Structure 1
Amino acid sequence: MSDSQTLSLPDDASLFTRLRVARQCLEVIKNDPTNPTYGQTFNMSLNVNVYASLAQQLQRSQDGRRMLSKRPSLQGKELDLAALERLPEGTLGHEFARYFRDNKISPFETTLEIKNDIDFLSKRYRETHDPLHVLTGYGTDVVGEMELQAYCLGNLGLRTTAFVLLNGTIGHFKVPQSGVGRSEYLRRLWAAYRRGRASPRFLDFWFEEHWETPVATLRARLCAPANG
């Protein structure tokens, strides 16, 4: 099947079509998580209504309206990672840049045309994935990624995160990752979900304005304690 057929997602697509496209995209991004085409299509496949609701909520506050109006970007082309890494240790900028270096990965890029607030929030969500790793402390191993998905499900209610968790949990039960047993795995996901529920919404936070702020300060502001 060609990419155009695989990624066809009409605005009026049925739930069955959206689930099919989500599944096809997920199979690709499991091995290519920064893929700009499949990643953004997966993100939009099940989340349009959630993003529409979030956009309405943001319009009710001055900071939210500023976010939707300015549409800041955390794409790789907007970031000077070398400059950020020169900031003092412990600051968001330094730890953010070191996160990419240590994990040998690059910031997300997107090919999505931003036509409206829903498109912007979809893009923004993908771009906040990496700074959220830094703030929450969840690892980039398989279980850590699932913890972050559970955190985002609790915080934003995105349907794709539930989809990823379902598929990831089925896979984990077949082949446990990193020696983490089923009960421990589920305990960690539940703890991450509850932590996300208890934390302030992160999607409209201006990470770009806080590169020089200590991570510890931002973690205390944006993340509930990581209780088991």
Structure 2
Amino acid sequence: MNETHALLQADSNAACAADGTVFRNPVRPQPKRDVGKALHHFRELIKDKEDTEQVFHIYEALPSKDFLPRARALTLSEHGEALRASEPFLPPILDNHAALRKLPRGSVAHAYCDFMEREGLTAAGLVAESDKMGRPKYGDLIEWYGFRQRDTHDLMHVLTGYGRDALGEQCVLLFTHGQSPSHGHLLLGYAGALNIKKQVKSRAPVYRAVREAHRIGKACPPIAEMPIRELLAMDLIHAREVLRITEPVWYARCHEVWRSEGVDPYDLLGKAMAEKLAA
């Protein structure tokens, strides 16, 4: 049985795309789960939610058993071949706001540019945070697929309507888990929600908000596997209808409750909130 498994694994690793790019570089190490490491980096992230590097450490410590089968199914398909040819690397496409602004007003592209410029973000910046880990590059199909999942994170904020507040980030992570299940998404999403409930005493329905995000993500086709250029050109409202992304009712309700209680939803765990709790 072990010999059969080894043969199947070897065949999977040896598979390659039409242009010769291997599915898995043979020097790529096997992923190993390390729950203690994941919890350590989660605690560091709680201290500073802007420390995005910690997120990548958490994912590395909690590899998903479904990641490789999903990556293989896409990258070795005709659809995956077409995506790699037209969108070899997303950040230059996403950061070219001059080109994106030429698309119609009301498009996903305009909403994306508005969001990224308002928040002071770039797709290249997310790549830089990931590169801080110093991980080697393998140039295989697994890497290309993983990059797409990383580089579409901020696009998910735009499509779902979840902001970059503490709750909005947890909701996007659980939306992502609905699309591509992983223990990293679950830890970040639900443990992050628990931390909000512990730190901010409120009637806000935080758990309902994150569970709703999880359900919306499950109903939506995998965004990382879509032609991103085509998605950016779509009308935002129409794109949400096509992708079955419904209005985040409970997330909006949390914001309403917090504001009625004198709490800034975008500073839940920041300096202002700490001073309020101390008082």
CA deviation after TM superposition for structure 1 residue 48, in Å:
4.9
Asked whether 1:197 is paired with 2:218, we answer yes
* Number of aligned residues: 211
Does the CA-based 8 Å contact 2:32-2:62 persist in structure 1?
no
Show the counterpart of 2:240.
219
Name the structure 2 match of 1:105: 121
d(CA) in 2 for partners of 1:211, 1:14: 36
Given candidates 145, 150, 170, the residue that maps to 2:169 is 145
* Offset at residue 161 of structure 1 (A): 0.5
Matches within 5 A, 1:100-139: 100-107=116-123, 108-110=126-128, 111=131, 113-139=137-163
Match of 2:189 in 1: 165
Aligned equivalents of 1:137 and 1:204: distance in 2? 20
Shift of residue 153, structure 1, vs aligned partner: 1.2
Is structure 2 residue 67 aligned with structure 1 residue 47? no
The question of 1:75 aligning with 2:119 is answered no
TM-score by length of 2: 0.65
Conserved in 2, the CA contact under 8 Å of 1:201 and 1:222? Answer: no
Does the C-alpha gap of structure 1 residues 227 and 81 become closer, same or farther in structure 2, counting only changes over 3 Å? Answer: closer
Measured in 2, the distance between the counterparts of 1:125 and 1:180 equals 34
Q: Distance in 2 between matches of 1:62 and 1:180?
A: 50
Partner of residue 5, structure 1: none
Q: TM-score, normalised by structure 1?
A: 0.78
- The structure that has the greater radius of gyration is 2
- 2:159 and 2:245 in contact (8 A); partners too: no
Give the superposition deviation at 1:212.
2.6
In 2: Cα distance, 1:52 partner to 1:192 partner: 24
What is the alpha-carbon distance in structure 1 between the residues aligned to residue 93 and residue 104 of structure 2?
22
Bigger Cα displacement from structure 2, 133-142 vs 111-120: 111-120
- C-alpha displacement of 1:165: 1.8
Instruction: Specify whether residues 59 and 211 from structure 1 end up closer, same or farther in structure 2 by C-alpha distance, changes over 3 A only.
Output: closer
2:236 is aligned with what amino acid? V
Runs of 4+ in 1 over 4 A off after TM superposition: 68-71
Secondary structure of 1:224's aligned partner: coil
2:174 pairs with 1:156: no
Amino acid at match of 2:184: T
User: In 2, distance between residues paired with 1:42 and 1:104?
Assistant: 24
- Unpaired segments of 5 or more residues in structure 1? 1-9
Alpha-carbon spacing, 1:195–1:77, altered in 2? closer, same or farther (3 Å): closer
SS of aligned partner of 2:164 = coil
**Deviation (angstroms), 1:175:** 0.9
**How far 1:134 moved relative to its partner?**
0.8
Indicate if the aligned counterparts of 1:43 and 1:122 stay in contact, CA closer than 8 A.
no
Corresponding residue for residue 29 of structure 2: 11
Specify every segment of 5 or more residues in structure 2 that has no aligned partner in the other structure, as ranges.
1-27, 250-279
How many Å separate the matches in 1 of 2:231 and 2:50?
32
Q: Shift of the alpha carbon at 1:30? A: 2.6
What's the % identity of the aligned pairs? 22
The answer on whether the counterparts of 2:64 and 2:183 sit within 8 Å (CA) in structure 1 is no
